[in-house]
Structure 1
Amino acid sequence: MVYNTVDKTGFKWSIEDKPVTIAKWDGAAVKNSLDDAVRKIMNEKYKYEENFKMMDTRLWICSISCLFAMFALGWDFFYPFPASRSVLFLCVVSYFIMMGILTLYTTYIERSHFLVSHEKDQAGIDPDNVWIIDSSLKRFDDLYTLVFHYTNGTTCAQRESSLTKSVSSWFDEDGTLQLQLFEKDVQSLHDEISSSEKKDK
């Protein structure tokens, strides 16, 4: 199998010129390798710009939570308990509040989104079209679900396309990802939305 090839669009498959091989019974590794492949396709094949705002927000929430914990630790070092009681109480409460915010954020805002990409207007006039991509792979299951959410930057019209297939469609017996096969399925989802957009114009 060749992993460094060029397709009709000029897109070159090459992840450090090495095949992506994982333990095929490790569901998390399987999902992560497929998600990374989708990210590569969107960023390199279609030249979309990845938006890290969603991930950055989660990191900020976690960082602030850690700061509360570190401040409590430092304060207790200089002013040992019970002198530090009130500060420790406030820091512990603040930490759990931030963890609650993080839980709400990941559950209702981030959800299963792993990629947000912006399709820039070639003329640089119209707002960006936004692609939000979700994926899921249940524990002890072989069915990987990939969902593309598209929002037109000008009309705010939304479209969606999805597929659910067994991961065995893209991994061989050794756990090596067949990149070209997976890229075809990702492209079909993308083109399904793009073609419907062109018909409406």
Structure 2
Amino acid sequence: MSSKAKRSENPGKDEEPVKINKWDGIAVKHALDDSVKAALMNRTNMKEHHAIVDGRLLICALAVSTALVAHIYDYQYSFPASKPVLIVCVCVYFFMMGVLTIYTTYVEKGIFAVGNQKDEKGNHKRWQASSDMKKYDDKYELTIQLRDSRGVREATVVKSVANFIDVNGTVLDDLVANELNRVVNSLNADKKDK
């Protein structure tokens, strides 16, 4: 979360509304993502699923471990002797950064929240929320995907950020939650053959 927009870590307590610089597109997108995630995770029987973030953390940990191996080896055996190990470590590090780029582009695809839900009938549902906001544009594109026994369905909403942020830069969490509930209800009601 951006340092410009802080949200309380204890849901249910009296939270201060999130205030952001409404002209900072990145801060606006992150604040709206946080609001959508909070609304999605507050749904009945919803548990956050961390596998996508864990994958990114694993790739980063491998890259940092490679850099750490290079540093320790170079400390033990000064430069001329450590040259082959440093070359291998640098190549592995850049390879891992390429893997990370591919992972964030093709696996994460802007997904910022994944939740597993078990409904009253015992059916399992997986919800994914992803977003996009172009630079210098006021349109916030939110995509919600549902995977359940009936298949995969998704809905996309494109609205101006002015629908969710007031003139003072305060994120209106109730309006975000209402829009999310509308999309979630429409996906729950969808038939598989649509």
Q: Give the TM-score range, shorter chain.
A: 0.7 to 0.9
How far, CA to CA, are the matches of 2:95 and 2:130 in structure 1? 27
Look up the match of 2:80.
Answer: 82
Give the aligned residue type for 2:128.
I
Look up the match of 2:144.
Answer: 148
Cα RMSD, aligned residues only: 1.9
Larger relative contact order (Cα-Cα within 8 Å, sequence gap ≥ 6):
2
How far, CA to CA, are the matches of 1:39 and 1:133 in structure 2? 8
Deviation track 1:12-63 (CA, whole Å, cap 9, x = no partner) reads x857520110011111111111111111111113331110010011011001
Look up the match of 2:127.
Answer: 131
1:18 correspondence with 2:16: yes
- In the comparison of the two structures, how many residue pairs are matched? 183
Give TM-score, length-normalised by structure 1.
0.85
Look up the match of 1:187.
Answer: 181
Look up the match of 2:8.
Answer: none
Q: Is the partner of 1:84 in helix, strand or coil? A: helix
Q: Is the partner of 2:190 in helix, strand or coil? A: helix
Give the aligned residue type for 2:23.
W
1:172 correspondence with 2:170: no
Is the 8 Å Cα contact of residues 40 and 180 (structure 2) preserved in structure 1?
no
**Structure 1 unaligned blocks of 5 or more:** 1-12
Aligned pair partner of 2:49 in 51, 59, 66: 51
How far, CA to CA, are the matches of 1:20 and 1:189 in structure 2? 23
1:39-118 to 2 correspondences below 5 Å = 39-118=37-116
Look up the match of 1:27.
Answer: 25
Give TM-score, length-normalised by structure 2.
0.88
Shift of 1:116: 1.1
Q: Is the partner of 1:22 in helix, strand or coil? A: coil
**1:136 and 1:15, CA in 2 relative to 1: closer, same or farther beyond 3 A?**
farther
Shift of 1:121: 4.3
Is the 8 Å Cα contact of residues 141 and 157 (structure 2) preserved in structure 1?
yes
Shift of 1:189: 0.6
Give the aligned residue type for 2:144.
F
How far, CA to CA, are the matches of 1:133 and 1:15 in structure 2? 25
Runs of 4+ with >3 A deviation: 13-16, 121-124
Aligned pair partner of 1:37 in 31, 35, 38: 35
Deviation track 1:40-90 (CA, whole Å, cap 9, x = no partner) reads 111113331110010011011001101111111111111111100111011
How far, CA to CA, are the matches of 1:167 and 1:109 in structure 2? 26
Give the aligned residue type for 2:106.
Y
**1:15 and 1:26, CA in 2 relative to 1: closer, same or farther beyond 3 A?**
farther
Aligned-residue identity in percent: 37
**Structure 2 unaligned blocks of 5 or more:** 1-10
